Amino acid sequence: MGNVAERLQKLLPRTWTANQVVAHNLLRARILRGWTQEQAADELAPYLGARLSHASFSAIERSIASARVKQFSADDLVALSRAFRVPLGWWFTPPEEGALHTPDHSHHGVNFAELVDIVLGTPDTLPVLAEALNRWAAARPLAASDPQRTPSATARASELAELRARSMVRERFGDLGEARDVLRRLADLLDQMDLETRDSAL
């Protein structure tokens, strides 16, 4: 019985907590920047307000697959984003395999597509974000040192919507070349059907 359970467990996708996803992306960010753990700790120190020891930094990265998982705070995520110069959403980029462990789906987990929806937004949630950002931008005085303000909140929300659309195409079709081929074949088929309809009407 135990062997069956073990084999079944191996077939099920691994579930990751949101904090393990962040730890996984911390390792990715450090590799992206080409930093050792010591260098990453030095870069983080001003933003965290303290320097992580080598043991602490190593323990955070090991928490990807450990029972002792680092619990990241909102302050931690802002510090990480500033130090590694990546957007906040970076920390929630899903790993290639597995599912998201949540209290309401603790056994099999939630499909990582839901995490992507949370990070990039959906047609239902993006307007709320755009409205909130526009209110913030409208209330913010234009500083003399900021004559060329960053793109409007609406424009940035539109960029997010486009990014989400691209993500959805990749989810559905995988390779974009394959998606293009499918759409071309579909267009050719529609042209052929239209031609046949015209011929039969004559």
Task: Collapse the DSSP code of 107 into the 3-class scheme (helix H, G, I; strand E, B; otherwise coil) and give the result.
Answer: strand
| Helix, strand, coil share (%) of the chain residues, nearest 5 | 65, 5, 30
CA dist., res. 167 & res. 173, Å (int):
10
Tell me whether residue 36 is in a domain: yes
> Would residue 177 count as lying in a domain?
no
Residue 156: per-residue pLDDT: 66
On whether residue 71 sits in a domain, the answer given is yes
Does residue 101 lie in a domain region? yes
Residue 97 lies in a domain: yes
pTM for the structure as a whole: 0.71
Q: Is residue 56 part of a domain?
A: yes
pLDDT value of residue 55: 95
The pLDDT, as a whole number, for residue 83 is 97
Distance CA 28, CA 21 (A): 11
The domain of 100 spans: 1-120
Each residue's pLDDT, cut to its tens digit, for the chain (202 residues) gives 556 556 555 555 689 999 999 999 999 999 999 999 999 999 999 999 999 999 999 999 999 988 899 999 999 999 999 999 999 999 999 998 899 999 998 778 999 999 999 998 888 888 888 888 888 877 877 655 555 555 666 676 667 667 666 766 666 666 667 767 777 887 888 888 878 777 777 6
Confirm whether 183 is domain-assigned: no
CATH number at residue 6: 1.10.260.40
Compute the distance between CA of residue 24 and CA of residue 178 in angstroms, rounded to an integer. Answer: 30
How many CB atoms neighbour CB 194 within 10 A?
Answer: 10
Classify residue 197: in a domain, yes or no: no
Count of structural domains, the chain:
1
